[in-house]
Amino acid sequence: MRRGITATALAATLALGATACGDDGEPASGKSAGGELSGTVTWWDTSTVGSEDKVFKKLAEDFETKHPKVDVKYVNVPFGEAQNKFKNAAQSGSGAPDVIRSEVAWTPEFADLGYLAPLDGTPALKNGADFLAQAAASTEYNGKTYAVPQVIDSMGVFYNKKIFKAAGVEVPTTVAELKDVSKTITQKTGKTGLYLRGDDAYWFLSFLYGEGGNLVDAESKTVTVDNAAGVKAMTVVKDLVDSGAAKTDATDGWENMQSAFKDGKVAMMINGPWAVTDTYGGAEFKDDKANLGIAPVPAGSVAQGSPQGGHNLAVYAGSPNLDAAYAFTEYMTSVESQAEVARELSLLPTRTSAYALPGVADNEIVGFFKPVVDKAVERPWIPETGSLFAPLVTEYTKVLTGQTTPEKGVGATGDAYRELLKGWK
């Protein structure tokens, strides 16, 4: 008899469980009867710690004043780790945030893996026509929108005006000039001309574009990194390092670059708007912000171009509190929030209307980078875009440290790409 009761109870539990699983259509909502949002929203931010994170944390937590019943949990995950950390959490279904600041190249990949909630028709996507077309492009995948653009960026040359004056040189506009200018700077001041990151292949892109190359051509489904332009670009960066015009590191590149530039040990670095606030905190710029000059990246022998980057906010498909997550995403990407971020951190808004607002319209950094972004080289928004850097950075570092030749380096990268992109030429 006893056994019979246990069996019945077990069957009942199973049946209940099955019903619960069947309710896929209805998300566990954080909305109370009156339509007021409640519950917790965990946001993974990837902004630079020590400068940008404070502003984003405050902005995120201000959401609580609008929606007092919502508890915003701000978590800063280092940019370099966020992609893998999110994948781990999203795949296992535990520990993932409700909202993630997803780099533009990660977004199609996360969407392809099924980790992101489609946002069309949800409150997260408000006034979509206001977004810059370039920024919106990376949020779309297979005809659906999976993220909302938060900031957009590109790269330029950051230079130390005092060092340039002491050496009596002008800002270089081509790679050839860059080499000469660096030489003069080293001769006159004993400092190194350029810091070139050797541990992150993103910093290689403007040289690749400068030689007329690209990683892949998505339209013709061709791998292009190992063509003549790719070889030339690798030769160019290797020459910059070998000739002493640039210094580099195989590890800790970001910290070394920032400290070398902030302390005035190098005269130039290639960087984006995300580095501005951190750079202003350095010894050379703290009391003299005007000492920092920004110019377009030097042109190669064929063209001039820098990669278009940026960040989106995406909602995790498994979030137990989708309604609050949508509202939070909308709030963080609203015109007011974007203008606030632009004023505080000089990061570029993704909404056209934000550029007209006071504090944004007259922001010098934003004013410099906006035309750069307009002309920036757009990357193919395929799921594999986020996977293209891992094979490239290994070979890039090998080339810079003399372990392989430019030809072999791009060749090995191309082979890895063809394995990744099945059926591409």
CB of 238 to other proteins, least distance (A): 13
Which of 1, 5, 21, 33 contacts other proteins by CB under 8 A?
A: 21
* 391 near other proteins, judged by CB under 8 A: yes
CB of 245 to other proteins, least distance (A): 17
Binds other proteins by CB under 8 A, chosen from 251, 358, 422, 423: 251
Q: How far apart are alpha carbons 132 and 371 in whole angstroms?
A: 13
Give the phi and the psi of residue 258 in degrees, each rounded to 5: -60, -45
Burial 248-286 (b: 16+ CB within 10 A, else e): bbeeebbebbbebbbebbbbbbbbbbbbbbbbbebebbe
- Hey, which residues does 157 pair with through a beta bridge? 270, 295
Among 123, 264, 293, 320, binds other proteins (CB under 8 A): 320
Single residue of 10, 250, 303, 356 touching other proteins by CB under 8 A: 250
386 binds other proteins (CB under 8 A): yes
Taking Cα atoms as reference points, which of 238, 212, 242 lies closest to residue 225? Answer: 212
Binding span for other proteins by CB under 8 A among 58-66, 221-229, 368-376, 401-409? 401-409
Please report whether residue 397 would count as binding other proteins according to CB under 8 A: yes
Position 330 contacts other proteins (CB under 8 A) = no
Question: Which is nearer to other proteins, 32 or 84 (by Cβ)?
Answer: 84
As a whole number of angstroms, the distance between CA 414 and CA 419 comes to 9
> What is the torsion angle, in degrees rounded to the nearest 10, for the CA atoms of residue 358, residue 360, residue 361 and residue 362?
90
316: contact with other proteins by CB under 8 A: yes
Closer CB to other proteins, 103 or 340, in the complex = 103
307 beta partners: 377
- H or E element in which residue 218 lies: none
Nearer to other proteins, 8 or 403 (CB): 403
Does residue 249 belong to the site contacting other proteins (CB under 8 A)? yes
Q: Beta strand 222-223 with 309-315: parallel, antiparallel or unpaired?
A: unpaired
Q: How many CA atoms lie within 13 A of 6 on its CB side?
A: 3
Using alpha carbons, list the distances in angstroms from residue 372 to 145, 263, 288: 26, 27, 24
Provide, rounded to whole angstroms, the least separation between the CB of residue 3 and other proteins. Answer: 22
Q: Is 401 in the site for other proteins (CB under 8 A)?
A: yes
Exposed (0-12), middle (13-18) or buried (19+): which is 95, by Cβ within 10 Å?
A: exposed
Min dist CB 402 to other proteins, Å, is 8
User: Per CB under 8 A, does 114 bind other proteins?
Assistant: yes
Beta bridge partners of residue 151, listed in sequence order: 311, 349
Q: Which long-range contacts (CB under 8 A, 24 or more apart) does 363-367 make?
A: 365/273, 365/276, 365/294, 366/273, 366/342
> In this structure, which amino acid lies at residue 33?
A
Binders of other proteins among residues 27 to 66 (CB under 8 A) are 27
- How far is the C-alpha of 390 from the C-alpha of 84, rounded, in Å? 12
Q: Which of 23, 170, 219, 287 binds other proteins (CB under 8 A)?
A: 23
Which one among 45, 52, 103, 109 touches other proteins, defined by CB under 8 A? Answer: 109
Tell the smallest beta-carbon distance from residue 140 to other proteins (Å). Answer: 20
Q: Which of 36, 252, 362, 415 binds other proteins (CB under 8 A)?
A: 252
Residues 70 to 89 in contact with other proteins, rule: CB under 8 A? 83-84, 87-88
Between 149 and 168, how does the x/- string for binding to other proteins read (CB under 8 A)? --------------------
Q: Which amino acid is at 341?
A: V
CB 355 within 8 A of CB 349: yes
**Residue 40 bridge partners (DSSP):** 71
3-state secondary structure 265-286: CEEEEEECHHHHHHHHCCCCCC
The DSSP 8-state label assigned to residue 381 in this structure reads -
Kindly indicate which of the ranges 148-156, 218-226, 243-251, 371-379 contains the residues binding other proteins, using the contact rule CB under 8 A.
243-251
From 65-73, 211-219, 251-259, 340-348, give the range in contact with other proteins by CB under 8 A. Answer: 251-259
Least separation in angstroms between CB 262 and other proteins? 12
Asked if 338 interacts with other proteins (CB under 8 A), we say: no
Give the CA angle between residues 119, 121, 126 to the nearest 5°: 80
Q: Which residues contact other proteins by CB under 8 A? A: 21, 23-24, 27, 83-84, 87-88, 90-93, 109, 112-115, 198-199, 248-252, 256, 259-260, 265, 316-320, 386-387, 390-391, 394-395, 397-398, 400-404, 420
